Structure 1
Amino acid sequence: MAKAVHKITLDRSEDIPFDKLELSQQNVRNIKAGVSIEDLADDIARRKLLQSLSVRPILGENEEETGRFHVPAGGRRYRALELLVSQKRMAKTEPVPCIVKRGEETSAEDDSLAENVHRVDLHPLDQYRAFQTLREQGLGEEEIAARFFVSVATVRQRLRLASVSPRLLDLYAEDEMKLEQIMAFSITNDHVRQEQVWDMLSRHHTRDPYYVRRLLTETTIRAGDRRAVYVSVKAYEAAGGVVMRDLFDEDNGGWLQDPALLEQLGIEKLRADAEALKTEEGWKWVESAFDFPYGHTSGLRRFYGELREFTEEELARHDALKAEYDELDADYADAESYCEEIERRLEELGNELDQLNDRPFVFDPDEVARGGAFISLAANGELKVERGFVRPEDEPQVKTEGDDPGDADGDIGKAADASSSAAGISVNGKPVSDDQPEEEDDTLRPLSDRLVIDLTATRTVALRNALASDPVIAFVAVLHAFVLKIFYLYGSETCLELTLQSAKFSQTQGLGDTLWAKEIDQRQEAWGQDLPKKPEELWDYLVALDDGSRQALFAHCASLSVNVVIEPWNKRTRAIANAKQVARSIGFDMVTAGWVPTFDNYLGRVTKAHILQAVGEAKGEQSAQLIDHLKKQDMAREAERLLDGRGWLPEPLRIIGTETGSEDVSPAADEAGDDPALEVNVGDLPAFPADAADLSDPHQEAHDDDGYSHLDAAE
């Protein structure tokens, strides 16, 4: 016999006069959030109540209903109705639809919590479709925003989803895409291009929004781009790619018009090279990317190999060449005249010795089994391989006396965020800042937060490099930090502890290619090769080190803790003031360090007003007037030429000396005599900017529009 199913009964709805209701103290919502009570009251006045209140009868001494009710669920609606009554916009006896709950199956607190927890926010796609319907009904963006208490920008963002392919929107509705990805695709209205990019990305794991934008906004790529060199134009054309060529001028190989295809070919080739390296050398993992952010190895332990020993044949050859070189060089030093033949022979011997000394490094097999490598592309398109990194989770677990079984021996730092596939190989895209072009007008706007971060990140690396060359000031800088910690802030909970932090600058493109970053990396590599392989041998090594080498090592480590990056949420006023003290003490400024304003690092990323301001400060207003009629890209390139050698710096890089004008740090200040305004004679100025005659030709101007866009395709 079938078991009878218990049928539920729902609580009945009643219209209860508002003055018979009172707010329950058992309502769990105590923190204000979401739409304000005032806005909710206005919404109720416009569209009336959309959801009933949940109430319970108030009982008297004999457990009899008193005719009054308290509201444990719906407190915000109750307060909004109360506000309407106090404003005389609603009668206090107005019937309010209520769900009356009698019985003790659940408590008032339980009902209040369930009402708030079980609520699900509207899906952004549903919100977009609703906004779209309202707009089709004649409502404007401002009115929609006012009705639903959101910003106009939010309405516009949701409506912008209309530019995304319906196919991709369906994938988003099925949770196969994220909102950030959909927003990235909305940057273009080309549905075919959107679907092409998604189909390419769906075959790989890299689907970050910045990568989507990068593929959608790229137009063409130079044949000299490192990705094109790596893949080869021949392979690109064999895969169906089109190369645009200039038949009337030197084009350096032309421009590749299908960035997505080149990206796909590059990713596939990188994966194959990573697989080959992993298989041939036995690494546990190999991570590859066209470019890694500066500091990508932070948090990973580095181990170094040793040069492969000479074979007997190589050693004999090396000794013979070295003996001949030394003998010939000694004899030639005493010669009275130049001999081309001897010079050529010395060069040949030197090259052969270099080839013999340039032997591969041999790594400990045990370390290789737990370690990995990074493969990326150098600026010339050749593979760049960084070997010998161990992630914290791959460190050997060593149990010591008093340790728990799960404790690892030593503090190996914080793990870097590194993605990998199941096979131990991953391919990542290069981070690209999402600088948005500013609207052009004559107003001198503040520099963008992204540009300030990039400029001050560049200054940080340059100052690190400068501080590393001055061990005395490096000691003073660290001692200054010690005294602040010991005497002015909080004491340490351990007997002695110093935390050395090194900030990352993952969004600043090209930072790893600067002279300062390369010198830092060279020092890091050189010390890594010299230091003992086992950490327990480090103390004796440092004790035995001579004072000069010990100070140089200290300065190198101290310099990596420098951070003078200015971020929108962290102006770091006191740290920047201290950075100026450090910079003055070592005689550092960005001009002498070698920074110059270029199209890529500054001029192409600011408004025309900023460009004219820079030229005016460095060369005078007459120079600025000569280029103020040019288009943005032409103006930026001409300004790069005019500012070359002038020693001008944007405000975020003026770290020492008087910072109110660039003339204080410019060599041109001396040429101007006593005039602080840096007077420029008309005769010293070019009659027209470079190639101005060409720019005046309307046919040439149209060509330049295309030319610059091709030449400036993002790498």
Structure 2
Amino acid sequence: MSNVTALPRETRSIEAPAVEGISLADLYLSDMNPRQEADPEGISLLADSIAMIGLIQPIAGFRDKAGKVGVVAGGRRWRAIRLALERDPALAAERPDLALVPVRLAPDEATARAWAAVENTAREDLHPADEIRAFGRMREGGADVPTIARTFGTTEAHVYRRLALAALPAPVLDALKAGEITLGAAKAFTIAQDEALALTVLDQIRGHEVSEHRIKQMLQPEAINGGTDRRARFVGIDAYRAAGGRATADLFAEATLLHDADLLDRLFTEKLEAEADAKEAEWAWIKTLAEAWVPYKMAEKMARLYRVEGDLTEEQAERCDELAELAQAEVLDEDGQAELDALQAILDGDFTDEQRRFGGWFLCVGQDGQIRMDGPYVRPEDRAAAIEAEVLTGHAAHQIENAKDDAPKSPYSGALVADLQAMRSAAVQGAMLDKPELALDLLAYTLAQKWGGPLAVRTDESPITPATETGFAPDPRLLGREDEDEDAAPEADPFDAFRAKGKKHRNAVLALALARSLRYSDHDPIFAKIEAETKASLRQVWTPTAENFFGRVSAEYLDALHLDLTGCDPQCNGFKAFKSQKKGEKAAGMERLFTDAAYQSAWKIDAEKKARIDAWVPDCF
């Protein structure tokens, strides 16, 4: 049942009552008005708007027995008028609509109650697309941002955000108004530099749930996010620009997009090598790595060196204990902390000159753009000399001799690898559907090869049969034939009918058949080339879950992956709790790390880590 009081029959049949000018002193907020509270900031903004352009819509009220008028609809406007006149009493003389407020008076109490209910339940805010266009028209007419904000009764920050979208192509705003894309998707289009590409992407995403990150990839597939890319964070945006690098701003992500990947790679390598040169003056060797981490196998047969711990004098030990107690009580001042750190450094010790003569470090750049060093290690070829110099003694001198030569067992089973390969094929096949010319090039290339090429020309379909379909979402076009219509009547001449559909339809059918026949290969470079050219990714069709991946690898693998993706301290209580869980619980937790925003927040997954999780794939390829 509606709580809106029905209008009397005679009220419904007459014209709306005329608007009367009522003195502000005779107006008050009626108990009938459901909005008894109002946001002060919103009222302040509305007061600015009314002071500038006046009252556009009259207030609705009901005259009581004392002759006063209670405001039943338009309480925010009434409050804003009062505030505007408090700020500037001269407005009453300049604007008649503020001296005598336009009020539409209800003929009876039942009508007043109906007005109050309808006004406050049926009111609809301006659609974002309409607001964007309205702000844009005012801006084109010469209005500045403060003027637009006062006119519409909103904040300047809100106007700036809307104006950033005002230059979008009209079809994008039309799609936003029609509900075919979200406001977030529209924001992603602000990075587009090619309108034709933008409209092509718009056609591809209409009516689909596509992440802003994915849309940006489609609009600028080669662009590099200067705020999250570790190379860019290490080199620095200023250094990249100084070297002639091209960059544009992503307004809504508050990020800078870089467009010269080769230049960034060169600057990254040069700076990393410069860091290595500085370190190599102190050590026997420094090995730089392009990766963000040191692979386990790289140091597997090396011997680690450890600092030679120092000793404190009796006096120093007593002082260290005193300072430690103050620090634990959180009353240690800055000078005391520095003294404690110096004493702790003595206890921690340092590497000897002999250790530096044989030892070295791996040097890489982490996801945060900071230098990471792993070591020091003694290389296998220096091991004998290090033992002779007594740099390696005891267990360290023998542990490498006893190490097994066979490679460690892969964490991925054959069945899991086969599933991942099949889904990787599905990602490339789906991407090929939008590149029919590429599919035709592959067909021609295959036919030209004496011993065959990357396509099964008989259009035998490559199997996509993972053990579970959980988390697997291939392009739906791969699962059906677009040109099939079982209910359609047979054509008199089906070949002519097919040709009449045009080249676009023909190319789509060919692309589908050829894409389905593409074979996965880990040794033929053509598959990798097609994957790179189509910018296909396993993660476009697959989300790792407990069922399809995490439950099929070891608990130790999950521990290492969790540490790598979260970047948490291995000694923190959260990770210790994770590590102590059973494998099934760990697998469920890893699934939540990939899919659950609340779980990600608990692990302090920022935008950079989120992007890395969204792009992560197993290293078995």
With the shorter chain as reference, the TM-score category is 0.3 to 0.5
Considering Cα pairs closer than 8 Å and 6+ residues apart, tell me whether 1 or 2 has the greater RCO: 1
Name the TM-score, length of structure 1 as normaliser.
0.35
